[in-house]
Chain A
């Protein structure tokens, strides 16, 4: 198989681990800079997230007296490690195919849920009432957006499976290969409801306005992250950067993985990630206000859920 690296190397260096971390922080830097320019401000330098991480490494982590210490310190580590693994599981068309040892789309779905759970657990382990509020809000939001995600993934898997003669195929490598043969799902009208549901899902997962309700907001003093400082907070920032890369790469792999072979494929992937970040995350972030948690919950249980169920039904009866 082209470009199949040994999986420890894939997890630690490329495309997981170090590569995904640098890419995620660079994307976040570009996002902050463009958001500032869209608001007629100058904005931080592009490497600002790197400076933030270096600074956080030099402060000390303070643990509250009432916190459950092993959980308090272990939760961010859990989130970061899961995202490092997940980044090595998403194929980059043309240059990287994940080793089958790492698992398929179902494992990736579980890994995607772990950072949110880590945030929730961190909020409740810190022992502060703001953390508890963040915990309950994150739980509500997660319940709301996980449903559409699973159904969208099932729809894509079913389309690939039915198209290649079987019933359902959860291997991301096969999904990418199917699209390279038969055309990307982005241009397939049958998959458009699934695409819309995915577009509604990823802002909630990445924690950007209008759905950044549980974490990092001025209403509940940053919620679960309130009691974190120093390297533990740095781990949360690392998790968030890695998650951005994983979710955006997953979106690209599910709907538009077409790319030339070799180094051109890597460039095209980076360009696609940058475009998705700037158009999908930044423009959305500066033009919306934050939604209330009950409104966001009701929104997800209405349109994205309906669209994803519709896409599943259409795919099942489309052939």
Chain B
């Protein structure tokens, strides 16, 4: 009986992992990576909906979080607040090199990089900006991590 419940739960986990919803947080980015994220999600050439993903307008609906931009001092509090609004289980992807290390803005006084001092990051996608195919690769890795957390 317990094995039946366990296998059913495992099956539900696999089914649920086929519908990850994406939300993008711009933490002070130059918008290069945001444009690439928008390209990945919205244009027919790199359609992410075939993977089951959907861009959602509300952080409450999100499963996969794409963070772009070095965490600038001005926006830091708001980003942390929005990040706290996203319900568990969630996976975070740092898109571009700015959240990982600060990128070209590394030595600036206004930047709180790397972002994983404040927000736990699961997947890094380096590039300035990364290619849409590279972002899809990062999303695929994130889905695999997310499946284990469901």
Interface residues of A (CB under 8 A from B): 32, 36, 39-45, 48, 50-52, 54-55, 57-62, 216-218, 221-222, 225-230, 233
Contacts and interface: CB of A to CB of B under 8 A. Distances in A.
B85 interface: yes
B56 A55 contact: no
A54 B58 contact: no
Secondary structure dominating the interface of A: loop
Interface of B: 12-13, 15-20, 44, 47, 49-50, 52, 56-58, 60-61, 63, 85, 87-89, 150
B12 A54 contact: yes
Secondary structure dominating the interface of B: loop
Contacts of A60: 87-88
Contacts of A226: 57-58, 60
Contact of B85 (A44, A62, A217): A62
A233 B50 CA distance: 22
Contacts, number: 82
B63 A41 contact: no
B50 A55 contact: no
Contacts of A52: 19
Given A42-B50, A57-B16, A228-B61, 12 more contacts: A41-B49, A44-B49, A45-B52, A50-B15, A58-B12, A59-B63, A60-B88, A62-B60, A62-B87, A221-B57, A226-B58, A228-B60
Contact of B47 (A41, A48, A61, A218): A41
Contacts of B17: 55
Contact of B16 (A58, A61, A222, A225): A58
Contacts of A216: 57
B61 A54 contact: no
A40 B60 contact: no
A62 B82 CA distance: 13
B50 A218 contact: no
B12 A36 contact: no
A59 B87 contact: yes
Contacts of B63: 55, 59
B41 to A, nearest CB: 11
A41 B50 contact: yes
Nearest to A130: B58
A222 B87 contact: no
A55 B13 CA distance: 8
Contacts of A44: 49-50, 52
A221 B88 CA distance: 20
Given A55-B16, A55-B19, A43 B47 contact: yes
Nearest to A39: B44
B49 A51 contact: no
